[in-house]
Structure formats: C-alpha cells, structure tokens
A and B are shown apart, each in its own frame.
Chain A
Amino acid sequence: MDRLSVLTMGFLSMVLVNNFVFTKFLGTCPYLGVSGRIDSAFGMGLAVTFVTALSGALTWLVDYYVLTPLGLEITRYICYIVVIAGAVQLVELYVRKFFPSLYDAFGIYLPLISTNCVILGICLFLDIWGTNSLLGVVVLSSGVGIGFTVAICIMAGIRENLNLADVPACLRGAPITLITAGLLTLAFMGFAGMIR
C-alpha cells in the first residue's frame, strides 16, 4: 500500500474502528457531561480535535528530538503534561477572545480539557504504537479527535430525544447515558471488519 492509503486507513480506523471513547474509554467525563445539547457537544468535539492534533504533534516532537536523544524518557509523563497544559491555555485564550458564546457554552470543561484523558491518551498511545513520522502523528491524532466528535455528537442527538422518553426514575441521567453508550459501542463494533 502506498503512503497515502496507509494514512487514510489509519485515519478511518481511528474515527470508526478504534474510536477512543468506545474502545479505550478515554474522554468519558466530557462524554457524559457535555453531551446534553448537540451544539455544545459539537463545539467541545472541535476543541478536543484541535487540541489532540496540536498536542499530539508537539509531544511527539518533544519526545523524538529532546527526550529520546538525551535519554530522559523517565520524565516523559511530566513533559507531556506541561506541553498539553500549555497548548490548552493557548486554545482557551483564543476561544475566549474570538468566540465568547462558545466559551460560555463550554463552561467548566475547557480548562478541564488539559485533564481530558483523550489528549494525554493519544500522546501515550502514539508512543506505544511507535509512530515514526510527523504527518502520521498529525493524521492519527486528528482522527482521534474527529472520532471523539462523532461519538459525542451522536450521543447528544440521542440524549435530546431521551429527554422525551419515559425512563425509570432510578436510571435517569448518567445511568441511562452509560447504557446508551454501551449500545452505541455494539453498533460501532460493526465497523470492526472494515479494516483488515
């Protein structure tokens, strides 16, 4: 397979087959918290996509050009956290300045993006998979972000309808959301045969 199709396959597998929310359970907190309305879910998804692509690339560069040559792999987690927190701060300033309504919609979740499992997760998994080109890193990590957006938007759509449904009192809120998410993972398992 040539390079382009490898990248396309990698991207699709990140969005559909190895969707981080459904197969690795990363980013479950915003998934349950922000998925109430479809527009804020979409905004959150876009913010996460941007930050995953940015911090995936940055941490890969730091790892490849600084930590590995200097033999400082032991400080990897600490460096990742610092890089991610810095990137998130920049995104937060940018959104607050240029998209105030979006900023209001995110509420508490934008600062919490830096502690979002998806972001650190993609940096760690890139390390485990041993991705060895910057382009591949950017494609894979934006694929993860898009996959998160897809998952959270589907969920928000379902939850807008769940508001009208007659759910047993004890299952209202988070429990029914989790069960719905479980059924969604079943649906997404259908994609498993698509690649390889």
Chain B
Amino acid sequence: MAKNDRGQPGVYRRALLTGLWRENPTFRLLIGMCPPLAVTTAVKPALTMGLSVIFVLVCSNLVVSLMRGLLKPHLRIIMFTLTIATFVTICDLYLKAFQPDMSEILGAYVPLIIVNCLIIFRAEACASKCGLVVSVLDAIGMGSGFTIALCILAGIRELLATGRVFDFQVMPAGFVPWLAMQMPVGAFVTLGLLLGLANIVTGKEPD
C-alpha cells in the first residue's frame, strides 16, 4: 500500500477486507495473543474487549497517520505507545463509568491493550506509511477480524463450559458441562485446534 494510492477503488476495499481473513491477526498472523486466551471464558467480555480494541486501533491509527510526517525513526515506537496509552486510558475510564461489571471482569486486561502487539504492528506497518482513509479502514478491518476471532473462541468455550451462549440455553438438559474449558487449558487447546483448522481451510484455498 503506497502513499499515492488515491484513485484506485480496490485499495480501500482491500484495506478493509485483509484483516477479516487473509491477514486475520489471531488466526493467520498470530499477534496479540493475550486477549484471545485471557478474556474468552464468555462471549460478553470477549465482545467488550473486541470493541475496546477496535476503538483504540481506529483512534491510534488515525492519530499516527496524521503525524506520520513528523515521526523520527528512533522515537517512533515510543510515540506509538504513548498515543495508544492515551486512548486506552480513555477507554478504561469509559468502561469503569458505564460498564462497571465488564470492567470488573476484564480487570488488568483493558490497560494491557497498550502492549497488544496488534495495535503497534498496525501503527508501524500501515498507519505510519498510509493516508488517513486507508489507515482507518485498515484499523476497522483488523479490529473486526480480531473481534470475530475472539467471539468464535469465546462462543466455543462458553458453549462447552456452561452449555449456554449469551445466557441462552443451547445444549440439551442432559449436557454435562466441560469445566476444563473455563480453565487456562481450555483456552490454549481450543485456540491451538482452531489454528489447525484455519491451516486446513487455507490449505485448500488457492491463495
């Protein structure tokens, strides 16, 4: 994606769509792996986490893209992290004020968005090189891909651990909950198997 990509209609669409599957941060690029493992015991915290990441990613890509002309090579990482930290603080305060129960569950994982490799990676690989629109579209695409991955993982774990998703009973009454799915081992094994599945699916695809 070059700076003078204006006028090619495919560029915007590609910026938006790469993050969804072809470069899905969780399943394909394997970056930002803490939240997919840590907050996916149920769908609701996973969704909250995903939306927070989308907010931070869009805002930080926007700001980084605006200041990309001023960045000095040796100072850019610290500029990225400071920008991200500012928006994460905003997001954390918002969650504390309006979603106190979610903020309680997510705990330290909201401030840990600051060190999520995904956001720094997008700032470095896309926003510091591309124009405003491409950066924002890229952030939305990547953020959505991340959120979808979180929700798939959380859906599987919540379904198998409690037999319900979003408080709807899904499994029949005789279902014995798999308590292990709520423990760390459930997170690691489910994600590992999903990555294997993603490998099988992409192995069949032409690209």
Binding site for B on A (CB under 8 A): 22-29, 32, 74-75, 77-78, 81-82, 85, 111-112, 114-117, 119-121, 124-125, 128, 168-171, 174-179, 181-183, 185-186, 189
A77 pairs with B85, CB closer than 8 A: yes
A85 pairs with B192, CB closer than 8 A: no
Question: Of B32, B77, B188, which one neighbours A181 at CB under 8 angstroms?
Answer: B188
Provide the bound-state CA to CA distance between A177 and B115, in Å: 22
Give 22 A-B contacts (CB < 8 Å), ordered by A residue.
Answer: A22-B184, A23-B184, A25-B33, A25-B34, A28-B33, A32-B30, A77-B89, A78-B86, A82-B78, A114-B77, A117-B116, A170-B197, A174-B195, A175-B196, A175-B199, A178-B189, A178-B192, A178-B195, A182-B187, A182-B188, A183-B185, A185-B188
**Which of chain A's residues has its CB closest to B188's CB?**
A182
How far is the CB of A160 from the nearest CB of chain B, in Å? 19
**Which of chain A's residues has its CB closest to B86's CB?**
A78
Provide the bound-state CA to CA distance between A119 and B81, in Å: 14
For A28, A85, A171, the residue with the greatest tally of chain B CB atoms inside 10 Å of its CB is A28
A114 pairs with B81, CB closer than 8 A: yes
A168-B196, A175-B192, A183-B185 are contacts. A115–B120 as well, Cβ < 8 Å?
Answer: yes
Question: Of B111, B183, B195, which one neighbours A189 at CB under 8 angstroms?
Answer: B183
B81 pairs with A85, CB closer than 8 A: yes
B33 pairs with A179, CB closer than 8 A: no
Provide the bound-state CA to CA distance between A185 and B189, in Å: 10
What residues on A are CB-neighbors of B31 within 8 Å?
A: 29
What residues on A are CB-neighbors of B108 within 8 Å?
A: 121, 124-125, 128
Q: How many contacts A-B (CB < 8 Å)?
A: 120
Provide the bound-state CA to CA distance between A170 and B112, in Å: 31
What residues on B are CB-neighbors of A175 within 8 Å?
A: 192-193, 195-196, 199
Instruction: Describe B's contact surface by its main secondary structure.
Output: helix
- Tier of interface size on chain B: 35 or more
A171 pairs with B192, CB closer than 8 A: yes
B89 pairs with A74, CB closer than 8 A: yes
B37 pairs with A28, CB closer than 8 A: yes
Question: Of A28, A128, A189, which one neighbours B34 at CB under 8 angstroms?
Answer: A28
A179 pairs with B199, CB closer than 8 A: no
From residue 58 to 109 of chain B, which have CB atoms closer than 8 A to chain A? Answer: 77-78, 81-82, 85-86, 88-89, 92-93, 107-108
A176 pairs with B33, CB closer than 8 A: no
How far is the CB of A27 from the nearest CB of chain B, in Å? 8
How far is the CB of A96 from the nearest CB of chain B, in Å? 14
B114 pairs with A178, CB closer than 8 A: no
B81 pairs with A29, CB closer than 8 A: no
**Which of chain B's residues has its CB closest to A177's CB?**
B192
Question: Of B92, B185, B186, which one neighbours A77 at CB under 8 angstroms?
Answer: B92
Determine if B20 is an interface residue (Cβ-Cβ < 8 Å): no
Provide the bound-state CA to CA distance between A98 and B41, in Å: 44
